[in-house]
């Protein structure tokens, strides 16, 4: 179990900056803040959003920061996020109270489903 905790720690620290960036860029895209800047040129957020949206979606003027190599890194980061979340759940059951972890996991499943169904 110590090896799982160490793996969770290192993977989390390595990929945390990228995952935080993708979370933040997802927020500003959901809020519509990635509009163009002055003169119809892409604003900073629109330009940075091209990393999140992929190279096939470009900011105004055709600008993009994405590349096939970065998209590969994005896939790796997504897989690491999935792995570290699973490791976190395993650690929650192992080192926390199993019943409390199960209740929290249930809430994390039920609430989003209800919000989708009640829209």
Domain that holds residue 88: 2-117
At which residue do the structure tokens 């933040």 appear? 24
Q: How many domains does the chain have?
A: 1
User: What pTM does this model have?
Assistant: 0.64
Tokens (6 digits) for 29: 């895209």
Instruction: Report long-range pairs for 79-82 (Cβ below 8 Å, ≥24 apart).
Output: 80/11, 80/14, 80/15, 81/15, 81/19
pLDDT in tens, 95-110: 877 888 888 889 989 9
Cβ atoms of residues 10 and 22 within 8 Å: no
At which residue do the structure tokens 């690491």 appear? 80
pLDDT in tens, 5-35: 888 878 888 888 888 888 888 787 777 776 6
Give the phi and the psi of residue 73 in degrees, each rounded to 5. Answer: -60, -40
């Amino acid at each position: 179990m110590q090896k799982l905790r160490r793996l969770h720690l290192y993977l989390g620290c390595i990929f945390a900056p990228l995952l935080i960036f993708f979370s933040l860029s997802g927020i500003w895209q959901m809020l519509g803040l990635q509009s163009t800047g002055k003169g119809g040129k892409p604003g900073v957020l629109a330009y940075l959003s091209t990393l999140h949206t992929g190279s096939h979606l470009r900011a105004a003027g055709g600008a993009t920061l994405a590349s096939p190599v970065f998209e590969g890194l994005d896939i790796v980061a997504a897989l690491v996020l999935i792995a570290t979340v699973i490791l976190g759940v395993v650690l929650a059951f192992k080192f926390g109270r199993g019943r409390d972890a199960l209740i929290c996991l249930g809430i994390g499943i039920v609430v989003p489903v209800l919000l989708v169904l009640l829209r």
